[in-house]
Amino acid sequence: MPAAHQLAVVENLQVHFFGGAHPVRAVDGVSFDIAEGETVALVGESGCGKSVTALALARLVPQPPGRYAGGRVLLAGRNVLEMSASELRTLRGREIAYIFQEPGSALNPVFTIGWQIREAIRLHRPEAGAQAEALAMLRLVGLPEPEKRLHAYPHELSGGQQQRVMIAMALACRPKLLVADEPTTALDVTIQAQILELLRNLQQQLGMALLLITHNLGLVAETAHRVFVMYAGRMVESGVTADVLAAPRHPYTRALLAAVPRLEGCEGRLKAIEGHVPNPADWPTGCKFHPRCAWARARCRVEEPAWELAEGRGTRCFFWQELLAQPNAATDH
């Protein structure tokens, strides 16, 4: 039984997709947890399974082609994967809500902003007061001229404003966990900073937990308490953000950090990771990172390392202790 302060616990989650010649193990035994009010980042590149993991938290992976092939997702102690349809309806919005990368495509173009926020409220509460509540939500997310915007259609707003509306809808029922899947990737840098500041303020104000799905390590460094790194459907590293970024234990985390250009500049060349992100339909044998790993040995090709968890730090590498002893463990810059 998880500790009381834990809001979400994912245990050995398996999400597979059927449809092609072979089943695709998009998420392959992922475990992590989120405490109340905490900001957790799930990091990885395209196809690593981070978004599917996020969707699984509210059982939103479409079935078919998806299938929950194993594991548990506990939200407030109850297994989401075994809930009835009506239980799920109560859960979504109240316990957990989502915002996505493209606010423009997540909003319905033929309804006004006000209508869409009222709808989110109406599904969980009586209709009375929904209009006032929608207006209050728009104020909360700092949309300029909120009374006027209630009657606006999504195309009349800028990308940053659309994302504010998405946040207003997501928070309308005061969820305990907000899942933000690449919430700022489609936005300009200065707008990105506005949205992140807003999320941070709202999180403190409302005391909700935030799961940030991203590929941007800079964003992780600046926002998350803890970070989970995924590669090829597997969790490969976890821990407190400052520890993981300062002394990564998995070669993938380490290589990724060394490959990110820094604002302060760097001496000489950045070290590229050779090869490319593997295709989910065709994961490599052994350790899934071995074809691109600079430290790979014979054992890594045939045997997959187990997930080792100690003192809040998790890693999936046979040789992490040796790796840690190597010079320039932090960044190789």
Partner 1 sequence: MTPDAPVMLDVQDVRVYYGPRRQPVRAVDGVSFQLRQGEALGLVGESGCGKSTLGRALLRLEPLQSGRVLLAGEDLVLLRGARLKAFRGRAQMIFQDPYGSLNPRHSIGGMLREAVAAHARTTRAAREERVAELLRAVGLDPAYTRRYPHEFSGGQRQRLGLARALAVKPELIIADEPVSALDVSVQVQILNLLKDLQRQLHLALLFIAHDLAVVRYVCDRLLVMYLGQVVEAAPAPALFARPRHPYSEALLSAVPDVGKGLAARAGGGSPRLVLRGDPPAPTHRLPGCPFHPRCPRARERCRTEPPALREVAPGHCSACHFADAL
Helices (H), ranges, the chain = 50-56, 85-94, 103-106, 113-122, 130-140, 146-149, 159-171, 189-206, 217-223, 241-246, 251-259, 298-302, 320-325
CB of 104 to partner 1, least distance (A): 13
Q: Exposed, middle or buried: residue 308 (CB in 10 Å: 0-12, 13-18, 19+)? A: middle
Contact present, 164 and 142 (Cβ < 8 Å): yes
d(CA 309, CA 329): 20
DSSP state of 291: G
Q: Could you tell me if 27 and 15 are in contact, meaning their C-beta atoms sit under 8 angstroms apart? A: yes
* Residue 181 structure tokens: 């899947």
Quote the CA–CA distance of 183 and 185 in Å, as a whole number: 6
> Minimum distance from CB of 29 to partner 1 (Å)?
22
Provide the minimum distance between the beta carbon of 78 and partner 1 in the complex, in angstroms, as a whole number: 34
Q: Cβ closer to partner 1: 123 or 277?
A: 277
Of 186 and 323, nearer to partner 1 (C-beta) is: 186
Cis peptide before 327 (omega within 30 of 0): no
CB of 226 closer than 8 Å to CB of 240: yes
Q: Which amino acid is at 265?
A: G
Which is closer to partner 1, CB of 67 or CB of 200? 200
Q: CB of residue 227 vs partner 1: minimum separation in angstroms?
A: 11
Nearer to partner 1, 123 or 191 (CB): 191
Strand partners, 15: 27, 68
In the complex, the smallest distance separating the C-beta of residue 258 from partner 1, rounded to whole angstroms, is 9
Closer to partner 1 by Cβ: residue 116 or 161: 161
Q: Which residues bind partner 1 (CB under 8 A)?
A: 45-46, 144, 158, 160-161, 188-194, 196-197, 215-223, 241-242, 245-246, 255-257, 259-266, 269-274, 276-277, 292
With beta carbons less than 8 A apart as the criterion, state whether 117 and 105 touch: no
Closest approach of Cβ 53 to partner 1, in Å? 18
- 91 vs 219, which CB is nearer to partner 1? 219
Nearer to partner 1, 9 or 300 (CB): 300
Give the β-pairing of 24-35 and 78-79.
unpaired
Q: How far is the CB of 311 from partner 1 (least distance, A)?
A: 19
